[in-house]
Amino acid sequence: MRHGVKLNRLGRKSAHRKALLSNLACELISHKRIFTTLAKARSLRVYIEPLLTRSKKDTTHDRRIIFGYLQDKQAVKELFETVSGRIATRPGGYTRIIKMGTRLGDNAETALIELVDFNELYTKTEKTKETGKHTRRSSGTGRKKTEKIPAATAVPAATAQSAAPASAETEEKKEA
């Protein structure tokens, strides 16, 4: 019986499993999203979330600890330069798993695992909407009234229109 066993072995020996998760983590960091099986995506989430939490503090010790897991200098550099800045305010839950259906060849469940802060479609964007105070009113009273144009603003527009033809007429007289 497997009471309390939280680790999915993924059908591999421990060294092979560690190498697989390390490679998947490096690819996720560099590409920001990868397409894999659902079981591997869930195992990768458990593997990479503590590494992402550690990357928030940029110390030599944390870099060495993460390098011990990833064994890839470029992935560690990318993690500390770009990824940690985007996830600095997030208190956890750095990855998102989206089920993609089954694979055609072996009917394995596939999934897309991605870093949450790097997907512009799902992230919330702040709307710069300048609106006034909203109140709930009964129907019919919330209509906007038409504003009348003040006479002072209407007169200069009329004089500008009448001045333009006059200047055109004077130019024609000067030419003749």
CB atoms within 10 A of CB 59: 10
Residue 140 lies in a domain: no
95 within some domain:
yes
- CA-CA distance, 38 to 44, in Å (whole number)? 10
Q: What pLDDT, on the 0 to 100 scale, is given for residue 85?
A: 93
Q: Is residue 81 part of a domain?
A: yes
Length of the chain: 176
CB 48 within 8 A of CB 19: no
Residue 153 lies in a domain: no
* pTM for the model: 0.68
* Sign, Cα dihedral of 102, 106, 112, 113: positive
- Asked whether 48 and 25 are in contact (CB, 8 A), the reply is yes
- Quick count: other Cβ atoms within 10 Å of Cβ 41? 25
Whether residue 167 lies inside any domain: the answer is no
Q: What is d(CA 131, CA 144) in angstroms, rounded to the nearest whole number?
A: 14
Beta-carbon contacts of 98 under 8 Å, excluding residues fewer than 6 positions away, are 111, 112, 113, 114
CA dist., res. 9 & res. 16, Å (int): 10
Count of domains forming the chain: 1
Is residue 141, in this structure, part of any structural domain at all?
Answer: no
If you ran DSSP here, which 8-state letter would residue 12 be given? S
Question: Residue 27 belongs to a domain with what CATH number?
Answer: 3.90.1030.10
pLDDT at 121: 84
What count of other Cβ atoms lies within 10 Å of the Cβ of residue 165? 9
Average pLDDT by stretches of 10, the chain with 176 residues: 89 96 97 96 96 96 97 96 94 95 96 93 62 66 58 52 55 57
Report angle CA 87, 93, 94 to the nearest 5 degrees.
40
Q: Does residue 168 sit within a domain?
A: no
Sequence-ordered list of residues with C-beta below 8 angstroms from that of 71, at least 6 positions apart, any chain = 22
**37 within domain boundaries:** yes
Domain boundaries, position 100: 15-118
